[in-house]
Chain A
């Protein structure tokens, strides 16, 4: 193999690496969701979570919503013992899914908790998105499950669920940063 061939191969490899990094940077930088005021409180023997999530959907996503495409967001919650071994299971690992969709008959936006089935309708899209991001009295874990001597780490992340989108939209959604929407992991500690 000639030196030129090695250089050409190295150049192609470099281009591929640069492209992968750029794509990852674009996708990773598209974290438009923000979790704020996330906290857990003990009430009636259980820890309840209150949080406010600001869903900043991209224009493409909002356009899809206006065109009748339901959007599903997933709230990923993890509770893990501080300093746990790798193979130690999480105390809590749950995914809560909510959906927002447009009802053209009444011109309203309906927010549905897919786990409980409860629905709420809103006349405006912004109100519906705000309501989508309000988490109140979400049962995280029963207090008797936790060891009072230990400290636990709670992680929370909100993500737009691409797999719930209509099939034709998914290939593009996976490749487009407009659709790869998620929040950073919000983390806080829990002292039982």
Chain B
């Protein structure tokens, strides 16, 4: 844009100079030609043609500029209105003077030229010519009469010598330059010339001779001699005798001749001018018209050129402003060469755009810095094992890091920018989470710290939560929480291990002597006692032995639970394992219907078969016990393969239509000593969960909507020969749990 803005006016100026200057010179030459300069008059027509051509080009340029201006005006191009106004002003300023000059010049020319030709001058010129003609005729007639008077003086003799003498004598007397005597046929008889050297006399032309024969005489003017002096030719013939024709050449009066010529030239010039006055007027008017047309077109051209020069910075500023409005702050306008107010304005505009560009660069740098800091924070937060969430002062969830998603096992992106309370709809566990934190989030203006426990199908989850208020500018709170379930469980396991060790050491050891002592008392004294004593001893020792056995079992169970497992892993076909275990329950007690649905064909897990059998037995026994008092108890054991991105999972479900789990205890059924049965150690499901987790699997419990409960465990598959994977469900998230419930409701998966 800068280059174009500078180049276009220069090009226009160059074109103007190349066109206007030659045109002006041409018109000046035409003007000189009209003033009758001999040299230039020959070039008048080419000059006229060149002028017309140049004016036509100028007209085309002006019209082209005009058309372009009209287009720009209609398109509302910046500067078009100002240009149009300037052109109109220039035209309005140039046209009236041009018209006035043309009118008065033409009038002046017409009157001036007309004034040259007057009736009196016409008559005077005619009279002068007539006077000259009369004077010349008078001289000619005098010379003719003188010649005619010589004819009678010729002798009658026809001999040549006599005639020659007489003719010479007559020439001297008459003052003629040459006197020649001819016969009627025009043949020279004798001749006498003032110059003896002239041998050949001047002979009158045939036309002259014919006129003489017809009318008897002729007189006229001619030039004669080597010097071309004007002479009067007088020829006279004898009317009666018709013997001779006398041809005389008299020197003309030079003065009279010159006067006559001058008069004739002046008359001819006058007549010619009078005749040409219309043409002259036409030529003057044409030249004047072309000059005025040139002036007008030049004025229009100048108007376009000046307007363009004047408007260019304004248009540049308008376009630059538009560019700035569209965000282009790098726009720099070409500064006008002339340092005027416009240059100052352009300079200010350029300074403004520079500052805007600098400000934008600073803003951009700041934004990039903020972005970098944000990415840094995101990276740090993303690598944190603690869940971090921010909640604004309107209780809306603003941000959450990946650890929060992992700990809460919910896709938090769906809840971002929404109310924090909506998170409770994802699962009952999260409902507890939201409910517990709602009050601190609303009321806490200082640091808040608490350990909360969430209960779900997989057991309880212990979160250590901290809430801190955010700076007043942003408002809201930041919630940081850690999943300390594993830590708590490890602590608990350690405690239970210690209890088991102490039980084994402090209780199990005395049990055997107690049992042996009781049996010894029984053997020794039962035979010696009679009646009621024997009966009391029998019941007492029996009870002691029985309770000691029970206590042993309990201590062994504690021991099993507390001590680390020694797994003997081997590839194990899930379907085969389930089939083998369920074979033992084919003849189930009572009216319980046990059925098996093996859907994980070929799925093999790396597991300890003994421990896994223990798990299955435990689950099936629990199910059978749950439906034992039901009239139409059903237990279904089902296997399936669940697709997963990393590793497919083998799923085993043990479902029953019993009373189901108590919702209040659902999150604690895998805890030690949590049981709904009257008998048992309360360690069955705790051991089951321990074994499953030792195999890298998960297990959870859920109630079936149509009644009854179900246990689902998943183990990673080490090899899958042939199995059709179901939709992915790597983790038992609340959503998955819902699907699980639906599957239980429909009875098929």
Contact = CB atoms under 8 A, between A and B. Distances in A.
B381 to A, nearest CB: 67
A104 B286 contact: no
A170 B44 contact: yes
A168 B271 contact: no
A171 B282 contact: yes
Interface stretch (A6-14, A63-71, A134-142): A63-71
B598 interface: no
B399 to A, nearest CB: 62
A105 B276 contact: no
Contact of A104 (B264, B275, B276, B279): B264
Given A166-B272, A167-B34, A172 B129 contact: no
Chain B contact-residue range equals 20 to 34
Nearest to A121: B220
Given A67-B275, A166-B276, A105 B132 contact: yes
A169 B279 CA distance: 6
A104 B283 contact: no
Interface string B270-291: 0110111001101100100000
A170 B276 CA distance: 11
A64 to B, nearest CB: 6
Contact of B272 (A68, A170, A174): A68
B286 A171 contact: yes
Given A67-B275, A105-B260, A167-B44, A172 B33 contact: no
B283 A167 contact: yes
A106 interface: yes
Interface string A33-71: 000000000000000000000000000000110011100
A172 B268 contact: no
A78 interface: no
Given A104-B129, A104-B264, A105-B136, A169 B271 contact: no
A103 interface: yes
B36 interface: yes
Contacts of B530: none
A163 B42 contact: yes
Contact of B279 (A101, A102, A106, A168): A168
Contacts of B272: 67-69, 166
Contact of B276 (A102, A107, A169): A169
Interface in A51-110: 63-64, 67-69, 101-107
Counting chain B CB atoms within 10 Å of each CB, which of A105, A107, A166, A172 scores highest?
A105
A168 B36 CA distance: 9
Interface residues of A, number: 21
Given A170-B44, A172-B282, A68 B269 contact: yes
A106 B42 contact: no
Contacts of B267: 68, 104-105
B45 interface: yes
Contacts of A167: 33-34, 36, 41, 44, 283
A174 B45 contact: yes
Contacts of B44: 167, 170-171
Nearest to B40: A167
Nearest to B126: A104
Given A68-B271, A167-B36, A172 B279 contact: yes
Contacts of A168: 34, 276, 279-280, 282-283
Counting chain B CB atoms within 10 Å of each CB, which of A101, A103, A104, A163 scores highest?
A104
Counting chain B CB atoms within 10 Å of each CB, which of A64, A168, A169, A170 scores highest?
A168
A167 B287 CA distance: 13
B274 A67 contact: yes
B278 to A, nearest CB: 8
Given A104-B264, A167-B33, A172-B282, A64 B41 contact: no
Nearest to B286: A171
Given A67-B275, A166-B276, A170-B44, A103 B36 contact: no
Interface in A106-130: 106-107
A171 B45 contact: yes
B85 interface: no
A64 B264 CA distance: 17
Nearest to B132: A105
B342 interface: no
B716 to A, nearest CB: 78
Contacts of B264: 103-105
Contact of A69 (B33, B48, B275, B282): B275
Given A67-B275, A106-B133, A171 B268 contact: no
Nearest to A63: B275
A104 B271 contact: yes
A105 B34 contact: no
B263 interface: yes
A50 B326 CA distance: 89
Contacts of B279: 166, 168-169, 171-172
B207 to A, nearest CB: 9
A168 B274 CA distance: 12
Nearest to A105: B264
A168 B277 CA distance: 8
Given A68-B268, A106-B133, A171 B34 contact: no
Nearest to A65: B275
Contacts of A104: 129, 264, 267-268, 271
A103 B36 CA distance: 23
Given A167-B34, A167-B36, A171-B282, A69 B276 contact: yes
Contacts of A106: 133, 136, 221
A106 B280 CA distance: 28
Interface in B236-277: 260-261, 263-264, 267-269, 271-272, 274-276
A105 B137 CA distance: 10
Nearest to A164: B42
Contacts of A170: 44-45
Nearest to A172: B279
B267 to A, nearest CB: 6
Interface string B207-243: 0000000000000010000000000000000000000
28 contacts: A64-B275, A67-B271, A67-B274, A67-B275, A68-B267, A68-B268, A68-B269, A68-B275, A69-B276, A103-B264, A103-B268, A104-B267, A105-B132, A105-B133, A105-B261, A106-B136, A163-B45, A166-B276, A167-B34, A167-B36, A167-B44, A167-B283, A168-B34, A168-B279, A169-B276, A171-B45, A171-B48, A174-B45
Interface of B: 33-34, 36, 41-42, 44-45, 48, 129, 132-133, 136, 221, 260-261, 263-264, 267-269, 271-272, 274-276, 279-280, 282-283, 286
Given A67-B271, A105-B260, A171-B283, 4 more contacts: A104-B264, A166-B279, A168-B34, A171-B282
